[in-house]
Structure 1
Amino acid sequence: IIIDATDRIEVRYLINDAAIITNKPVVYGSIHRFEGQVSVFNYINGPTYRCLFPKAVEVPSCEEAGVLGTSVGLIGMLQAAEVLKIILETGNVLSGELLVYNTLTATQDRFKFKKNENIQITQESFNAAHKNNDSPKVSFSIDLLVNGILVDVRTKEEQPKIANASVLEIPLQELNYKVQDFESSKDYYFFCQSGARALQAVQLLKKHKHINAKALTEGAAQLQKLIATASV
């Protein structure tokens, strides 16, 4: 059973297609501000994520729109309940149904959707759609501090702060206005709390022909410890 707890649209399509090829159900959860969604895809050859969302829709990130913390807990528990129902083979699994829960009103709605038989995922189409030899992510090493520049794209208020001469603080919202300050001859490594904003920063720079841009797999808290250890 695949449990989707990601926050990136492109990763959800990747998970969906991999689940179809490997014949595994996906327990899906998504959060937006005060509202959350739960469903189960590809359960006993049932409807998939692509049946519900044929095309990716641009939505504000959690950092831009904000998320009520309790919404995350509630949706996570609902996902856990679906996993247990699948394992125990009991109850009505949310296959072909999308449950939408609103924490502000303490109400929920259910929407039915059907399988789209025209959507066919094969190993060949999967490889063509998701093959990526140039990973936008790298792990931190001491060499990055010496030969590269780390860029913190979190907001000014977020903690912990990393005090190091090789670390720049440029919030993601301001990055678009400072693209001209980046030099294509240098290597830049972006980080945030979870990695989502760092990847957005890399995509932005690549649009402006800055090919030496990568996102770090580590978040700020982990980086702080690694840099402190490297400096000793």
Structure 2
Amino acid sequence: MTLHVLTGAGSGIGAALAARLHARGDDLILFARSDARATQLRERFPGAYTVVADLAAPRDLAAALARHDLPARLDSLLHVAGVVDLGPVAELTVDAWSSQLDVNLVAPAELTRLLLPALRAAKGQVLFVNSGAGLRAAPEWAAYAASKHGLKALADSLRAEEAAHGVRVSTVYPGRTATAMQERVHAQEGRDYDPTAFIDPASVVTSILTVLDLPRDAQIPDLTIRPGF
């Protein structure tokens, strides 16, 4: 049975991805930021195992994992969770910078470090759900884009380092997708939100599964997804 560790399963792309993996019978280890959210995830995805850990506190991830007897082999680590807080550089606070860097970059790096032995044992795969902001930065997106540019660098370095261990590393760069995060972005931008104007999360999930399910004789290092209209 294929075993995945997934962050961000509570909403948006992460929830849609967890639903597709669960429906096809894959095993899931889902990260949740609280006991209440963990209970919700277990109810939504029967049979899933949950780990309570706050990605906003990456220094605590090692202790959180130590409380669990996790499998020695892991087929994939799927980094989907993320936060966004827009604002011009002249107004962004240290807290706004730190929170986005911690959740979007430092926590994925630390979680990857902690789970690499299990990924190496299975010759597994690490997949980062990045963003178009990870390739270019727009006004008022400096902190978020910096975290996502850093995530691209993490993936590129990790790919080169782990090739000898048989671990594949991929990054998916979705354009604007109809999620709660996108609704929050529109609120910060002061614009009306119309989910039909953006990519359906299910379409992003289809691309992620294409990357994950690719036969072992090949890999997709980077995949960019844009609206088709």
- Please say which structure displays the higher CA radius of gyration: 1
| TM-score, with length taken from structure 1 | 0.28
Between Structure 1 and Structure 2, the one with more helix by share is 2
Between Structure 1 and Structure 2, the one with more strand by share is 1
| TM-score, with length taken from structure 2 | 0.29
Tell me: higher relative CO, structure 1 or 2? Use CA pairs within 8 A at least 6 residues apart.
2
